[in-house]
Structure 1
Amino acid sequence: MDISFFLRHMHGDLARFEPDRPALSLGDSAPVTYRELGERANAYARKLLELGVEHGDRVGILMYNSVEYWIAYFAITRIGAIAVRLNFRLARDELDYVLNDSGTTVLLADTDLLRPLDTLRARIPVRSYLAFGGGVTERPAWALPWSDLEDNPTSELDRPLPAGDDGAMIMYTSGTTGRPKGVLWSHGITAWWAAMQIIEWKYEAESVMMVTGPLYHIGGLENYMLPTLAMGGHGVMARSKNFDLRRTLEIASAKGVTDLLLFPVMINQFVADDSLHEIDLSRVRRIFTGGDALPPSVCEKLKVRLPRADLIQLYGLTEGTPMATCSAPGMGYARPASVGRAYPFVEVSVRDELGDPVPPGAVGEIWTRSPANSLGYWNQPEETARTFTDGWCHTGDLGVVEDGTLSIAGRKKDMIRSGGENISAAEVEDVLLQHPAVGDAAVVGIPDPTYVEAVCAVVVTNGTPVSAEELIDHCRTRLAGFKKPRKVLFMDELPRTPSQKIQKFKIRELISAGALRTS
């Protein structure tokens, strides 16, 4: 099974659904139909072939949420190429790394995201660029206009379909060693994952699913939206820039959204703002959330505000099943600290340092196994071997099973979770150590009322004076904005073990006690 099935099943004498049904909408815009999706994907695919894209080549997508993002994804995967889904918040140096690491040869990008790459062009393998949006004068002279993708025949391609085990997409996640890792998915994994969601959530042609996250995440495309398309439903995307919760909920009301993805920070805002409660969300039957725990008090308020909507808490990861566990009906409210039971066709095991299962009630590392586990990490066989054992993914998260459900107990890996994004402490530390005034550095997560966790840097200078603001600016120019420290503190010496490992638990204790200086 290949990904183009999600469009093919809308055509032909035995089409499952009417091809002129609404398929995708961006915000409050008019929807495009399944027929339009398929025809435009064929047109894009023909241009990619004309540009010399071959089976297995990597084609980057550096775009905000849009219908065109989806069409590009379908076109790339239809010809057997691999879609490299790039985070548009990455800084210049980060894009330099991922484009070289993936070997991306063609890049589809929003014009304002493309222009900063001018100084990188001699250092990256990209040979062709296509610019979306903006006026003619804004498009770089070295980039092709987006119309070159659109102005092609829309008939079906006379080309073999990709195989189920062919690579389909690469998504870069934060790495614990400082560099992002490209997670590789195949066509078969993608199809399996859509089917698993349909089994659990029973999507149908009348489903209207709205996602509020970016399409470069699993949570914006493979989760929720792709299974909705598989059943002939309508997918609605929030716009990427200038997110406004009120406007998002008004669109959800106008579109008749039945299933809604809201991140914890959005739910916190919703229950706290009485003016939002006048918006009619009576058609919403499920609210999906995950990444960070919701306080019981917030869950109680949400249930009062939306009594007809069930709350679904989720746990998963890109490389080891995006939703490995989920709340059973009613469980999201009844047991807010739990991330639920195992998903259909997913095995979840909590294990000790030797890889042996621990008894219920004991804390251990969460391992997952399913048809939706990734193929591993792109160009990193050693890291793949460390993370995957006999089909099991070692998630690096700590959990405990009690009464048949899983609860998250912490992180084994040195990772910070802020505003729904995973941030590698090692990556931020590496950038800090590049500043000439920094002799040593440690990065930890600290509690934050808005983002749940915030990045905090603790720095030892080498004697050269430097301010917290200067170090934050240094990180801002080299890292995505969400990764930069929100707070910088100073010490004379970092606490270390006899083997010279930094004792971050002691650093967190000192921060909590207010014992570190700010300059």
Structure 2
Amino acid sequence: MKFPLTIADHLYRAQTVYPDRIAIVDEPNQPAQSLGAFTYREMADYAAAQAARLDQLGVPAGSRVAIISHNSARLLISLFGVSAWGRILVPVNFRLAAAEIKYIIEHSGADVVLCDPERKEVLDDLDVPHKYVLGEDDDKIFAFGITPVPWEGDEDATATLNYTSGTTARPKGVQLTHRALWLNAAIFGLHAGVNDNDVYLHTLPTFHANGWGMPYTVTGMGAKHVVIRKIDGFEILRRVQEHGVTMMCAAPAVVSAALDAVEEWKALGNGPIPGHGTLRIIVAGAPPATRTIERVWEELGWEFIQIYGLTETAPLLTFNRMRSEWCDLETRERARNLVRAGAPALGVRITTNETGEILARSNHSLDAYWENPEETDRVMQGNWFHTGDGGTLADGYLTIADRKKDVIITGGENVSSIEVEDALSLHPAIQEVAVIGIPDPKWGELVTALVVSRDPELTGEALIAHCREHLAGYKCPKRIDFIEALPRTATGKVQKFKLRQPFWQGQERQVH
């Protein structure tokens, strides 16, 4: 017997095993009316009602339904209300410009667009048969009391179409099948130890690779979802305390926000740091600094886990969690072990090619790029997914060397900006740092650090001297610029291309 793996399995199990358990606690402070706290039985009713309404609208299986939304209960419902009945959900980054959103809607061929009230102005310029505002048009989105048309289920059918954030080119639509999402959810949950006692705080944008697939895992295991709409470090700590949160996924910027809130939390006399000894935070998006991991342990008392992956891989490729073999190591050495991207997850194969590019194989990689066969063929050449990232493998663990375009070539030597950033971040006065290469007539590229400092008296000379204690001289920055903040994407990744732009204007090539 072969029974198709579909994301409907997660909702079916939750409503069957945990019908009266609280499924989702919606964001209380939002422009739409909050759905409050509701059970898995009610979640399943919402999802079925959404599917029934799509039936009434004449939207068949295989059609695209786009949703432009902050984290919300309605977005979590749509992961199932759309895809569990055979349609394709297109989660769109709500922070994109109107023109970027319009491109994604047109490129995906969406028949329905659901939009957060804060971005409803973008609907005016969209030529789509059905356009609704979440919260305001719920009577047009959900048809309660009607049984939706059953979908037989096909694990090879596309379940979601996730658009990557383009920097120099148009975003690409990543087709993720039911099988890919199911396996990613299962493998991620196995490595993270997700269970029905967990309480999951949505500190990761759900539009980003479907919240890394964790919403499926949490639902299938009958754990509780707690929605947070906008990220604030103090509010994260407050909700961890209020709801007994045990797990969250986040970009490094979210970790920094929580760490920055510790002093205020203590100053207000709020008691012990919430989650101390009970919460695990799973981080990805950029390799964290060694000192950041140490601070998570020392100041928050949370378990730090790192993963690596891409939208195209659903996303899990590697997993790095504290091991018993490391217990006797010094704190810094244990943290440095966790700086690595991790070991291949179950069912994943990782290697590097002759240029150092990371290649991956798994059962949860993309099916194709939507209407882009040339790019699909390119990234899947040789039946390996070509990540575009550089890295090294040692002792079963992957270390990210850099995005290829971020490797700095200075005086004929390759310098990993991540390695330099990690060394600089050990200085206690540094809040954030990004390292880039800028054109230089002597060295080709000059190792340059853009620093956000906690100490207005900090000097570039002091930082360079500090760096020389940890790195070879040629790797150390030759220039230090102090700035107010680092530009970041919606998911917290530093946008180094924006940092490089002023230095490379007028250059024929982006290498020197």
Q: How does 1:191-210 map to 2 (within 5 A)?
A: 191-210=182-201
Equivalent residue, structure 2, for 1:23: 23
Letter of the structure 1 residue corresponding to residue 108 of structure 2: S
1:446 deviates by 6.9
C-alpha distance in 2, partners of 1:446/1:92?
33
Equivalent residue, structure 2, for 1:316: 309
Partner-residue secondary structure (3-state), 2:50 = helix
Q: How does 1:147-296 map to 2 (within 5 A)?
A: 147-153=139-145, 155=147, 157-175=148-166, 178-218=169-209, 220=211, 222=213, 224-240=214-230, 243-272=231-260, 273-276=262-265, 278-282=272-276, 284-296=278-290
1:301 deviates by 2.2
Partner-residue secondary structure (3-state), 1:489 = helix
1:154 deviates by 5.2
Partner-residue secondary structure (3-state), 2:155 = coil
1:51 equivalenced with 2:57 (yes/no): yes
Q: Is the 8 A contact 2:322 2:338 kept in 1?
A: no
Match of 1:96 among 70, 92, 102: 102
1:40 deviates by 1.0
Distance 1:383 1:413, change over 3 A: farther
Distance 1:154 1:205, change over 3 A: farther
C-alpha distance in 1, partners of 2:69/2:203?
15
Gaps of 5+ in 1: 135-144, 354-363, 418-443, 451-480, 497-501, 507-519
TM-score, L = length of structure 1: 0.73
1:390 deviates by 4.5
Distance 1:390 1:37, change over 3 A: farther
Q: Is the 8 A contact 2:82 2:88 kept in 1?
A: yes
Q: Is the 8 A contact 1:341 1:404 kept in 2?
A: yes
C-alpha distance in 2, partners of 1:97/1:482?
24
Letter of the structure 2 residue corresponding to residue 68 of structure 1: R
Q: Is the 8 A contact 2:27 2:73 kept in 1?
A: no
1:265 deviates by 2.0
C-alpha distance in 1, partners of 2:146/2:322?
43
Match of 2:404 among 397, 403, 412: 412
Q: Is the 8 A contact 2:180 2:365 kept in 1?
A: yes
TM-score, L = length of structure 2: 0.74
Distance 1:204 1:351, change over 3 A: same
Q: Is the 8 A contact 1:321 1:370 kept in 2?
A: no
C-alpha distance in 1, partners of 2:505/2:112?
48
C-alpha distance in 1, partners of 2:505/2:212?
46
Q: How does 1:289-438 map to 2 (within 5 A)?
A: 289-307=283-301, 309-330=302-323, 333-353=335-355, 364-412=356-404
* Post-superposition CA distance 1:49-100 (Å, at most 9, x none): 1111011111111112111112222111133111111111111211121111
C-alpha distance in 1, partners of 2:106/2:48?
28
1:149 deviates by 2.4
How big is the alpha-carbon RMSD for the aligned residues of Structure 1 and Structure 2?
3.1
C-alpha distance in 2, partners of 1:175/1:388?
19
Partner-residue secondary structure (3-state), 1:324 = strand
Partner-residue secondary structure (3-state), 1:293 = coil
1:295 deviates by 2.0
Equivalent residue, structure 1, for 2:121: 115
Q: Is the 8 A contact 2:212 2:315 kept in 1?
A: no
C-alpha distance in 2, partners of 1:22/1:413?
46
Q: Is the 8 A contact 1:293 1:336 kept in 2?
A: no
Letter of the structure 2 residue corresponding to residue 275 of structure 1: E
1:160 deviates by 2.8
Distance 1:485 1:493, change over 3 A: closer
Q: Percent of aligned pairs with the same residue?
A: 30
1:321 deviates by 4.4
1:42 equivalenced with 2:48 (yes/no): yes
